[in-house]
Amino acid sequence: MNTYPNMATVTQQFPRPTVGALDEAVHAALAGAFPSGERFFGKRIAVAVGSRGITGIAAITKTVVAFLRDHGAHPFLIPAMGSHGGGAEEGQRKLLAEYGVTPEAIGVPLDTDLTTVCLGETPEGFPVYFSRVAMESDGVLLINRVKPHTDFRGEVESGLCKMITIGLGKIDGANAMHSRITHWNHDQIILPITRLALQTAPIVGGLAVVENAYHETALVEFVLPANFEERDKALLAQARTLMPSLPVEQADVLLIDQIGKNISGAGMDPNIAGRWFRINSIWQDKPNFTRICVLGLTAETEGNAVGIGLADFCNRRVVDAMDRDITYLNAVISRNTVNAHLPMVFDTDRAMMAMVTQSMGAGITPETMRIVRIPNTLDITRIQVSEPLIDELKIHPQVASISVPEAMVFDAMGNLPFLQ
């Protein structure tokens, strides 16, 4: 029977700036941009909210709506999430509800119409689609988090510009962009589309949110349309400095308890796991893990197993919980079909780990394997590492504590209980 190195629990510490009272920070950002509020009096303002998990998004949205109402506006909500939610109105309504953003909670109507209008073409020939409902409003105010993206790197990534291009472009905008990424980098498409949309659509600005490694709001800034590109770039650089990371550059195995769309748009965040995909190919950045293993899917992902294609091995419960239709649609629309490929599948974690050992190079035994285990790629302040990694982690600046190592224990079914 294979044995494995003892595992120690490691806690990490990261920079932790916070804004304090979230509602006060949001109100101050809006009041700083619109001290009189005359811009909104009597206007129908579409408040665009996306599909990514933003800490306190319901409270942020409610504060934005209250500010607009206080200044005489008639706000309403619209989803700005491209083709997410299965590319269906009900799916997008459900996604927003999971974040607490509902007409009842926020106190204003929600219009999930997916119809778009074409605003024209960029000099590069990119068609620019935009929500019909948003175009028919008197103004559009975006709310989005600025952060490194899970699928690409560029001058702008997740943020206000991308929300214009894909979020408010609905399914048409998502298809228009993703169909061109074989020839253009993502930001080379996002920026020209954003520029044209800002010239044509009634966008009044965007509330940009940056979070720290603990999923707390680190910064809230209201950005006027003329500054979208400049501030998206600057806030992305700031967000990157606040991202968490794993305290190793190289190891043999990364065990991920669960992946899912509620964890990352890519199921597992390549910024953490180090494994990236680009047009149906994958490559390993730092941290460099020889093998990546996935033990399960989150319940919240509702069968969307996108990201499983980045793993080498997985437990059968991942496949059993997978909704192929949703997973394949996500992978096809993003043009990253490798993201839905299945790795080698095993009935138990014990059987999987035995095969992982056999896949290693000469000189690596079950007892000497350098293993990192995480609950998911979103929550890595508390992780586990195998004993061969402990000495180098003792001097790592972001490691706060290391527990006494204990044996890796499988349950009666041969599986590893998920980390708490």
3-state SS string for 391-407: HHHCCCCCEEEECCCEC
Q: What is the pLDDT of residue 279?
A: 65
Q: Per-residue pLDDT for 152 more than 90?
A: no
Q: Per-residue pLDDT for 85 more than 90?
A: no
Size of the chain in residues: 420
Residue 79: its H or E element: strand 74-79
To which residue do tokens 């965040």 refer? 269
Q: What percent of the chain has pLDDT over 90?
A: 78
Cα distance between residue 206 and residue 225, in whole Å: 8
The mean predicted confidence, pLDDT, of the chain is: 93
- Among 158-162, 329-333, 352-356, 373-377, the minimum mean pLDDT is found in 329-333
Query: CA torsion 379→305→78→47, rounded to 10°?
Result: 20
- 6 closest CA partner among 371, 388, 386, 416: 386
Cα distance between residue 52 and residue 297, in whole Å: 18
For 173-189, what is the mean pLDDT?
85
Q: Per-residue pLDDT for 259 more than 70?
A: yes
The model's pLDDT over 103-123, given as tens digits with 9 standing for 90+, comes to 999 999 999 999 999 999 999
Query: CA torsion 178→183→186→189, rounded to 10°?
Result: -90
Cα–Cα distances in angstroms (integers) from residue 313 to residues 12, 57, 288, 327, 376, in the given order: 27, 35, 16, 18, 16
In this prediction, residue 280 has a pLDDT band, given cuts at 50, 70 and 90, of low
Q: What is the pLDDT of residue 83?
A: 77
Across 199-208, 267-276, 328-337, the highest mean pLDDT is recorded for 199-208
Residue 78: its H or E element: strand 74-79
Q: What is the pLDDT of residue 370?
A: 97
For 305-331, what is the mean pLDDT?
94
The answer to pTM > 0.95 is no
Q: Per-residue pLDDT for 1 more than 70?
A: no
For 150-163, what is the mean pLDDT?
88
In this prediction, residue 93 has a pLDDT band, given cuts at 50, 70 and 90, of very high
Q: What percent of the chain has pLDDT over 70?
A: 98
